[in-house]
Amino acid sequence: MWAVLVLVGAAAASAPLHSHHFDGEKVFRVTPHNEEQVEFLNTLASNVQIDFWNPETITQVKPEMRVDFRVEADKCFDVQSLLEQSGVEYEILIDNLQTVLDAQFDSNVRATGHNYEKYNNWEKIAAWTADIAAQNANLVSRTQIGTTFQGRPLYLLKVGKSGSNKKAIFMDCGFHAREWISPAFCQWFVKEAVSTYGSDTLMTRLLNNLDFYVLPVLNIDGYVYTWTNYRMWRKTRSTNSGSSCIGTDPNRNFNAVWCSIGASKKPCDETYCGSAPESEKETKALADFIRKNLSTIKAYLTIHSYSQMLLFPYAYTYSLPENYAELNTISKAAVKELTSLYGTKYTFGASASTIYPAAGGSDDWAYNEGIKYSFTFELRDKGRYGFALPESQIKPTCEETLKAVKYIANYVLDHL
Ligand code: ARG
Ligand code: ZN
């Protein structure tokens, strides 16, 4: 009797009993080489429940694109034999997703509290926002810009030396719930800011002359859900009238030719654009804050994963933004900085042609509001672990990303 209770208790501590397990689930990578093979994938996706990792929906798939998707255990055998028969080039990226998910928490650091080299749950991140502000009152202050659908506080950190008429850079993390490396980067950034101010010349210059608004997690409800119920959740957790499906894709929910391309009008889809632009409390709060501070915010950075890309507008059209040449030059130099640390290779360019066309993104919206330096980061990796990036990669990923962010911030400061 006691042994049973102890076992149940131990299991509950690491993973709640009601959470979805990924035993035997596989992640496939396929590369269709012609329209016929794309059509085959369409048929496959309409017959079998498939979770697209990259791109996020079958509708975005084009010939020669690498397509990563997850298949539930009892469907893997069938999917694999269909792929064999069809002749579509494929490989198995992850043979057993649960094994890789268990291995996420591989950091050597033993910690029960908040730790920068581990994935922190929302409770720890929320407490951390209060602590870092309290302990660094000269550099960090915390405000709340709204609440989530489920009522959680949307905290925003303002990082910088106080001064008058300072311009600012806005950076958010955690749009998509399962992209855990993203919130880890926002936390890392703030840590680096407070710990290297006064010693690192560039960081000191940046914080003396600019403010950084850092939103550690935008989609908090979704993030909590990935910890408690379903690790692969992407969208918000709001209800949809007329449907039992939950959630809207926050990065399809902005007023940037909303829901025109690369987004879905169906609430059950992963790229559901919502009932209207800014229908989500989270995106509305972010957009309201940026609108209110448009005269000071000179750059917008939004952190996603995975695929190792630095993207800039537009995603809703193949047309290039007015300062395309400048954005491209900045991206090239920022990526060079990033790569210099560990050799991590990044691609960069306008979203539509570099990743895929998709409307309603926060980057395009911010750009059209007049923030001419607007970038989306897609952090590590390129699919070996995908969203299940091991904790041992948090430090190198954040260090290299910080190089690129500092480069961009310095450029923005030089061009105010
Ligand atoms: N993976 C990101 C997403 O699907 C790409 C973002 C690029 N920008 C955009 N506006 N779609 O949201
Ligand atoms: Zn994302």
Q: Beta strands 153-159 and 167-173: pairing type?
A: unpaired
Q: What is the mean pLDDT of residues 21-46?
A: 96
CB 364 within 8 A of CB 313: yes
Ligand 1 touching residue 351 (CB < 6 A): yes
End-to-end CA distance of the chain: 69
Three-state SS at 244: coil
Helix H or strand E segment including 173:
strand 167-173
pLDDT tens digit sequence for 150-160: 999 999 999 99
Three-state SS at 143: strand
Q: Which pairs count as long-range contacts for 199-208, CB under 8 Å and 24+ apart, including other chains? A: 202/406, 202/410, 203/406, 205/410, 205/413, 206/406, 206/409, 206/410, 206/413, 207/139, 207/159, 207/160, 207/161, 208/160, 208/161, 208/163
Per-residue pLDDT at 8: 38
CB 264 within 8 A of CB 144: no
403 — pLDDT class (breaks 50, 70, 90): very high
Asked if ipTM goes beyond 0.90, one says yes
Ligand 1 touching residue 251 (CB < 6 A): yes
Ligand 1 touching residue 182 (CB < 6 A): no
12 — pLDDT class (breaks 50, 70, 90): very low
Which residues are annotated as catalytic? 378
Sheet-wide strand order for 153-159: 140-147, 153-159, 210-215, 167-173, 297-305, 373-379, 309-312, 347-350
User: Cβ neighbours of residue 256 under 8 Å, at least 6 residues apart?
Assistant: 315, 316, 359, 360, 361, 364, 365, 368
| 103 CA to centre of ligand 1 in angstroms | 27
Counting ligands in written order, the one closest to the CA of 260 is 1
Q: What is the mean pLDDT of residues 88-114?
A: 91
Per-residue pLDDT at 9: 36
10 — pLDDT class (breaks 50, 70, 90): very low
Q: Output DSSP code: residue 303.
A: E
pLDDT tens digit sequence for 298-311: 999 999 999 999 99
Residue among 265, 259, 264, 257 nearest 313 (CA) = 257
pLDDT tens digit sequence for 124-165: 999 999 999 999 999 999 999 999 999 999 999 999 999 999
Three-state SS at 160: coil
Q: What is the mean pLDDT of residues 47-52?
A: 94
Q: Can you give the pTM of this predicted structure?
A: 0.94
Three-state SS at 93: strand
Which atom of ligand 1 lies at the shortest distance from residue 54's CA?
1
Q: Which residues pair with 297 in a beta bridge?
A: 168
CA atoms within 13 A on the CB side of 185: 30
Residue among 380, 356, 357, 387 nearest 308 (CA) = 380
CA–CA–CA angle 363, 335, 388 (5° rounding)? 70
Does the pLDDT at position 88 exceed 80?
Answer: yes
Task: Quickly tell me which residue has 């057993």 as its tokens.
Answer: 96
Ligand 1 touching residue 179 (CB < 6 A): no
Does the pLDDT at position 204 exceed 80?
Answer: yes
Per-residue pLDDT at 6: 37
Does the pLDDT at position 107 exceed 90?
Answer: no
- Helix/strand number for the chain, H first, E second: 13, 12
CB 70 within 8 A of CB 53: yes
Q: Which of 14-18, 23-27, 388-392 has the lowest mean pLDDT?
A: 14-18
Does the pLDDT at position 2 exceed 90?
Answer: no
Pocket test of ligand 1: the residue of 61, 302, 376 to mutate, having most ligand atoms within 8 Å of its CB, is 376
Ligand 1 touching residue 355 (CB < 6 A): yes
CB atoms within 10 A of CB 415: 12
Q: What is the mean pLDDT of residues 57-68?
A: 95
17 — pLDDT class (breaks 50, 70, 90): low
Alpha carbons 211 and 262: distance in angstroms, whole number: 34
User: Cβ neighbours of residue 334 under 8 Å, at least 6 residues apart?
Assistant: 310, 348, 403, 404, 405, 407, 408
pLDDT tens digit sequence for 225-256: 999 999 999 999 999 999 999 999 999 999 99
Q: What is the mean pLDDT of residues 377-385?
A: 97
Alpha carbons 380 and 396: distance in angstroms, whole number: 10
Look at ligand 1, atom 12, and give the residue with the nearest C-alpha. 251
pLDDT tens digit sequence for 312-360: 999 999 999 999 999 999 999 999 999 999 999 999 999 999 999 999 9
